[in-house]
Amino acid sequence: MASVHLPRSLVTLFPDPPPRQLELDAATVLELVEQLEERWPGVRDRLCQPGPAFREHINVFIDGERVGIDARLSATSVVHFIPAVAGG
Amino acid sequence: MARRVQLLLGTRKGAFILESDPARREWDLRGPYCETWPIHHLIRSPDGTLYAGGGSPWYGASVWRSEDEGATWTQSSEGLTYGEDGPKLMTVWNLTASDGSLFAGVEPAGLFRSEDRGATWLHVSGLRDHPSRPSWEPGNGGLCLHSIVPHPTERERMWVGISAVGTFATDDRGHTWEARNHGVRADFMPDPHPEFGQCVHKLALHPARPDVLYQQNHCGVYRSDDGGRGWTEITPGLPSQFGFPLVVHPHDPRTIFVIPLNGDDKGRHMIDGATAVWRSSDAGDSWQRLSDGLPQQDAYLGVLREAMATDSLEPAGIYLGTSNGQVFASADEGGSWRQVADYLPAVWSVETSIVED
């Protein structure tokens, strides 16, 4: 089971919000996003643009290494979704 | 039965609601809503639902919905896309409810329609199929579709306004569109009278006279008496041709309000730092300056295209929000004004709603 960490600014977009940290069994990051979408409809649109690919300012890391949407997961992967730090 | 007047505010950092009794003297503020996303437009549909349109730099464009006066919100952008091969949809600029449908004007310019109260969206693709579309270029505010003007009784008819592109009309519910810019100047173009490319800033009509359209343009204020097929300039009498919002009096189709700013290359703020709304009571033949109660010294305020509104009371209330975060209200059709909010994020839109308890 991969350990998935979601940002506060994402989970608060949903009336029945996902937990900030959860365990999911998925082979790739895309599959992980699809599992999130099944449980919290709309989450895929917030993280991904058509393609699908991650939105420009959404960074995803597996075990500390930045990855794309097709990256593979292991049973011990730690996945962080992190919006880019910016703004004013 | 108690009545409340609400000002629905879209701002650079969330949506807010100002609320008063019908005297419109004391106002209470609540918000911010929508997780402080940049919100271009907050409206209330005829069934009472609140909708907010905007876009997050991180999470993309979306339309928010609240059925409990803003206590809780959902948001969706399902279908709000040009697809994998199209341009990335940046944000929602305008929401307009009409005849059971909800329309969204977006950037890059396009029109979407929802038949299920914002849960899913359909692209009104006929507009972007117009042969002029490859030549559409963004203005300073982006390539945005900001004005959606449905015909009040004939649901197959609609006008839209796109910055730096112009006014378009459909008579077949969005399947085909026609440019309606004849008589409108585009001084910034090599040919100042092109078929399209005019920079409309706001488009409006009164439902009692739906073939009379008004527009505040980058290059003047105009009226059309034939559904936009021809336009007559009504700028003479105003101190500047440049401004953003234009609203029509709720009970008088010949009375309109604009806010002239100092010019497109001079900061786009109040002329000489003195705040004023200008009213015409004769469809643009003459103009009157309204400033009683508005700051007249060192007030370099800007007011954007969606940030002026009227209510439907008698006498009508007029409201404006500034890019500096103030809201000013008049309960007597612009005759006198008072500041009702300060220190808000930049106000991008003002709409009104009368709520019966």
**CATH number reported for the structural domain that contains residue B118 in this entry:** 2.130.10.10
Q: Map residue B101 onto helix, strand or coil.
A: strand
Distance from the Cα of B268 to chain A's closest Cα (Å) equals 22
What mean pLDDT is predicted for residues B66-92?
96
SS3 at position B186: coil
In chain B, the percentage of residues whose pLDDT exceeds 70 is 100
Percentage of chain B with pLDDT > 90? 97
Q: Compute the distance between CA of residue A29 and CA of residue A49 in angstroms, rounded to an integer.
A: 14
A51:B84 CB<8 A: yes
Q: Kindly report, residue by residue over B218-255, the tens digit of the pLDDT.
A: 999 999 999 999 999 999 999 999 999 999 999 999 99
- Contacts B88 to A, Cβ<8 Å: 49
Instruction: State both tokens at A66.
Output: 């930045």
B64 CA to centre of own chain: 18
Mean pLDDT to the nearest integer, B109-132: 97
Count of domains observed in chain B: 1
The pLDDT of residue B314 is 96
Query: Given this model, what pLDDT does residue B142 score?
Result: 84
Whether B58 has its CB under 8 Å from any CB of chain A: the answer is yes
pLDDT at B116 exceeding the cut of 90:
yes
The set of residues, in sequence order, having a beta carbon less than 8 Å from that of B101 and lying 6+ positions away, is B113, B114, B115
In 3D, which of B354, B351, B356 has the Cα closest to residue B96? B351
* Partner A contacted by B116 (CB < 8 A): no
Å from B92 to nearest chain A CA?
Answer: 15
Bridge partners for B167 per DSSP:
B161
Q: How far apart are CA B167 and CA B109, in angstroms?
A: 12
- Write out pLDDT tens, residues A28-86: 999 999 999 999 999 999 999 998 999 999 999 999 999 999 999 999 999 999 999 87
Tell me how far apart the alpha carbons of residues B128 and A58 are, in angstroms, rounded to a whole number.
Answer: 29
Task: Determine contact: B76 vs chain A, CB below 8 A.
Answer: yes
Residues of chain B neighbouring A12 (CB-CB closer than 8 A): 35
Give pLDDT, residue B357: 81
For residues B296-300, average pLDDT? 97
Residue in chain B nearest A10 by alpha carbon: B59
Nearest to B97 by CA among B163, B152, B37: B152
pLDDT at residue B1 greater than cutoff 80? no
Span between the terminal Cα atoms of chain A, in Å: 37
Could you read off the pLDDT of B95-112 as tens digits, one per residue?
Answer: 999 999 999 999 999 999
Chain B positions touching A11 (Cβ under 8 A) are none
Domains parsed from chain A with CATH numbers: 2-83 (3.10.20.30)
Structure confidence by residue, pLDDT tens digits, B336-350:
999 999 999 999 999
Taking the C-alpha atoms of residue B176 and residue B139, their distance in angstroms, rounded to an integer, is 24
Q: Are B100 and B107 in contact (CB under 8 A)?
A: no
Structural domain span for residue B248: 3-356
| Mean pLDDT on B52-64 | 97
Considering only CB atoms, A13 lies closest to which of B35, B57, B84, namely: B35
Q: Give residue A87's pLDDT.
A: 63
* A46: nearest CB among B60, B83, B88: B60
